Amino acid sequence: AQKITQTQPGMFVQEKEAVTLDCTYDTSDQSYGLFWYKQPSSGEMIFLIYQGSYDEQNATEGRYSLNFQKARKSANLVISASQLGDSAMYFCAMRGGSNAGGTSYGKLTFGQGTILTVHP
């Protein structure tokens, strides 16, 4: 079974500062993918960044980077130079390996989310 844990219900950051949102995961799969999504107050789910379990380098996408520490099973999201528009809910998610029927690639497991508030 897969589990994602986000221990920060809420985080505050000053505009233009960097912020780290924590994510730890638990899986027995050797191969898996880790994702971060943003959900603004309007409700849509926006994909931010992806990290594969065999990727040697941390993923980066513009102001977003994923601090992947495989041995610690953590996949923290770092947002640099925060903007007011970054205020939103952030979800960490994982897509794992195959079960006996070969279907488990089809599902994502999500954490509980972290609400980020950026102050001017």
Partner 1 sequence: NAGVTQTPKFQVLKTGQSMTLQCAQDMNHEYMSWYRQDPGMGLRLIHYSVGAGITDQGEVPNGYNVSRSTTEDFPLRLLSAAPSQTSVYFCASSVQGYTEAFFGQGTRLTVV
- Interface residue list for partner 1 (CB under 8 A): 4, 6, 9, 31-33, 35, 43-45, 47, 50, 52, 91, 93, 95, 101-113
Nearer to partner 1, 1 or 120 (CB): 1
Q: Min. distance of Cβ 15 from partner 1 in angstroms? A: 27
**CA-CA distance, 60 to 111, in Å (whole number)?**
21
CA 34/CA 13 separation, integer angstroms? 24
Give me the least distance between CB of 95 and partner 1, in Å please.
5
User: Given the complex with partner 1, which of 14 and 52 has the nearer CB atom?
Assistant: 52
Beta carbon of residue 30, minimum distance to partner 1 (angstroms, whole number): 13
Q: How far is the CB of 120 from partner 1 (least distance, A)?
A: 27
Looking at the Cβ atoms of 16 and 54, the one nearer to partner 1 is 54
- Give, as one character, the DSSP assignment of residue 57: S
Nearer Cβ to partner 1, position 12 or 47? 47
Please state, in angstroms and rounded to a whole number, the distance separating the CA atoms of residues 51 and 54: 8
Q: Is the CB of residue 82 less than 8 Å from the CB of residue 18?
A: yes
The CA distances from residue 77 to 14, 28, 97, 102, in Å, are 17, 22, 22, 30
